[in-house]
């Protein structure tokens, strides 16, 4: 009770206390459970980071092995899910498909909603970590007209994701270590980012004690938007448009600055980072390395670099402290991996999954109250109903 403070977009409102991710937007610092993102991207693998985020510590060898085994044991989904995948039109956006499939998982695993013990919670966590990559691969394979089949439990989690996606109908698949390492790094860099739009969505939906999968599905829908995770798709489309326009970056810079034009420079700006996004720094370097290692020359990378340089020297961007964010270069790496543009945000969701889970788990363990913001009413005062014939 008391005075309501209005803060549209929650620019200055803290919604919770959290021990998961530390972010200093002025200094460009990002740490998961105290470990710098730079060190984790360099030395850890994605599932270790997932364990760290969710359970608070890096796993011991035994914990790591058990975590892998428990996830592997959950890496099949009900065969009836294939019917749902098949029912989507080929042109369906993969983010809509994956959000629906994640929500549908609740129907196939109803016990996952009741998480009143640590054990039940753990079961839901490994279940979704096991099944989500299968849903991602099937979403992709359906679009590509490939058969929906399972992965290879003998290989690593990230390698298996690529194999599930790209294996040919005759079973042929050639592992490429450069791509596996690059994807591992990208997933780590996306794994958590404190109370962003999709994470806040997961926490608020979960705060009503809706199940984990339903909360994640809501988070995926929030991530889809171009101001959030959907920016990675929008960046690539923007770079393609610039390329088709004879590389005229100046024209797009002018559009971004024109207040009568809704166009924004996609992949630029961030609610919290005001000097640089540490993830973007690592990804830019990785994009250079991956393309060089693969021997790919992508003119899109040159356009991106040119655009970045222009924006960083432009007074409009300098005044507003707009820098390239995580989404600016990630699509260039996904593209080099052969991942189609409309799957980019799904790859982001794959990476963000452990963060969403960790935040949901923290919210439940801390027994947070239901999320329910207030408002300032600005509508009509009381008035009398007028029957339709008299209006
Ligand atoms: N291009 C042109 N102008 C911009 C941009 C941009 N990308 N971003 C912000 N601005 C301007 C904005 O018009 C406003 O100008 P003014 O003060 O003259 O009205 C000022 O900068 C502040 O912007 P804001 O919209 O109030 O800032 P916000 O914190 O609400 O929005 C943002 C942050 C990320 C949504 C925004 O910068 C944006 O739309 N960027 C493009 C989309 C994008 O790349 N999103 C990915 C974000 S990082 C990954 C993730 O979240 O998943």
CATH code assigned at 321: 1.10.230.10
Q: Are residues 199 and 261 in the same domain?
A: no
Among protein residues, the one with the nearest Cα to ligand 1's atom 10 is 269
Q: Are 145 and 253 in contact (CB under 8 A)?
A: no
| Whole-angstrom distance, CA of residue 354 vs CA of residue 360 | 10
Q: Are residues 176 and 284 in the same domain?
A: no
Q: Are residues 49 and 143 in the same domain?
A: yes
| Whole-angstrom distance, CA of residue 60 vs CA of residue 380 | 61
* Distance between Cα 94 and ligand 1 center (Å): 25
Q: Are residues 29 and 105 in the same domain?
A: yes
| Index of the ligand 1 atom closest to the CA of residue 270 | 34
Q: Are residues 221 and 238 in the same domain?
A: no
Q: Which residue among 257, 269, 329 has the greatest number of ligand 1 atoms within 8 angstroms of its CB, and so is best to mutate?
A: 269
Q: Are residues 206 and 60 in the same domain?
A: yes
Q: Supply the range of the domain harboring residue 100.
A: 16-226+344-365
Active site residue 270: yes
Q: Are 351 and 190 in contact (CB under 8 A)?
A: yes
- 218-255 CB burial, b ≥16 within 10 A, e <16: bbbbbbbebebbbbbbbbbbbbeebeeeeeebeebbee
Catalytic option among 184, 277, 327, 342: 327
Q: Are residues 267 and 350 in the same domain?
A: no
Question: DSSP letters along 293-329, please?
Answer: HHT---HHHHHHHHHHHHHHH-HHHHHTT--B-THHH
Number of domains, the chain: 2
User: Is the interface score ipTM higher than 0.90?
Assistant: yes
Q: Is residue 382 part of a domain?
A: no
Residue 301: both structure tokens together: 């990378």
Tens place of pLDDT per residue across the chain (391 aa): 678 899 999 999 999 999 999 999 999 999 999 999 999 999 999 999 999 999 999 999 999 999 999 999 999 999 999 999 999 998 999 999 999 999 999 999 888 778 888 899 999 999 999 999 999 999 999 999 999 999 998 999 999 999 999 999 999 999 899 999 999 999 999 999 999 999 999 999 999 999 999 999 999 999 999 999 999 999 999 999 999 999 999 999 999 999 999 999 999 999 999 999 999 999 999 998 899 988 988 899 999 999 999 999 999 999 999 999 999 999 999 999 999 999 999 999 999 999 999 999 999 999 999 999 999 999 999 999 999 999 9
Q: Are residues 306 and 332 in the same domain?
A: yes
Active site residue 327: yes
Q: Is residue 349 part of a domain?
A: yes
* Distance between Cα 167 and ligand 1 center (Å): 39
| Index of the ligand 1 atom closest to the CA of residue 235 | 44
What CATH code is carried by the domain that includes residue 64?
1.10.580.10
| Whole-angstrom distance, CA of residue 220 vs CA of residue 354 | 13
Among protein residues, the one with the nearest Cα to ligand 1's atom 9 is 269
Q: Are residues 322 and 355 in the same domain?
A: no
């Amino acid at each position: 009770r008391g005075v309501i403070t209005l803060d549209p977009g929650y620019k200055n409102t803290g919604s919770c206390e959290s021990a998961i991710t530390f972010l200093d937007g002025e200094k460009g610092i990002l740490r998961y459970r105290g470990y710098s993102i730079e060190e984790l991207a360099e030395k850890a693998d994605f599932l270790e980071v997932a364990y760290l985020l969710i359970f608070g510590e890096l796993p011991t060898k035994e914990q790591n092995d058990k975590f892998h085994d428990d996830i592997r044991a959950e890496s099949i989904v009900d065969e009836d899910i294939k019917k749902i995948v098949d029912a989507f039109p080929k042109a369906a956006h993969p983010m809509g498909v994956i959000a629906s499939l994640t929500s549908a998982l609740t129907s196939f695993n109803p016990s996952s909603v009741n998480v009143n013990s640590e054990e039940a919670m753990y079961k839901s966590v490994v279940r979704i970590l096991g099944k989500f990559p299968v849903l991602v691969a099937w979403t992709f394979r359906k679009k590509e007209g490939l058969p929906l089949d399972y992965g290879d439990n003998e290989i690593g989690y990230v390698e298996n994701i690529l194999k599930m996606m790209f294996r040919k109908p005759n079973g042929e698949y050639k592992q490429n270590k450069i791509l596996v390492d690059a994807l591992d790094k990208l997933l780590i860099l996306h794994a958590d980012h404190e109370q962003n739009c999709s994470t806040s969505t997961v926490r608020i939906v979960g705060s009503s004690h809706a199940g984990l999968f339903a909360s994640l599905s809501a988070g995926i829908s929030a991530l889809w938007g171009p101001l959030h995770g959907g920016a990675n798709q929008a960046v690539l489309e923007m770079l393609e448009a610039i390329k088709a326009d004879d590389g005229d970056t100046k024209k797009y810079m002018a559009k971004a600055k024109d207040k009568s034009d809704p166009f924004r420079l996609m992949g630029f700006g961030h609610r919290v980072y005001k000097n640089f996004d540490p993830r973007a720094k690592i990804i830019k370097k990785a994009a250079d390395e991956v393309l060089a290692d693969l021997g790919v020359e992508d003119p899109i990378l040159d356009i991106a670099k040119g655009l970045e340089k222009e924006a960083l020297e432009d007074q409009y961007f300098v005044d507003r402290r707009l820098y390239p964010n995580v989404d600016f270069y990630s699509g260039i790496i996904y593209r080099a991996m052969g991942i189609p543009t409309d799957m980019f945000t799904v790859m982001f969701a794959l990476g963000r999954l452990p963060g969403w889970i960790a935040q949901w788990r923290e919210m439940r363990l801390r027994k947070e109250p239901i999320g329910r913001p207030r408002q300032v009413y600005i509508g009509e005062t009381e008035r009398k109903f007028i029957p339709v014939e008299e209006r």
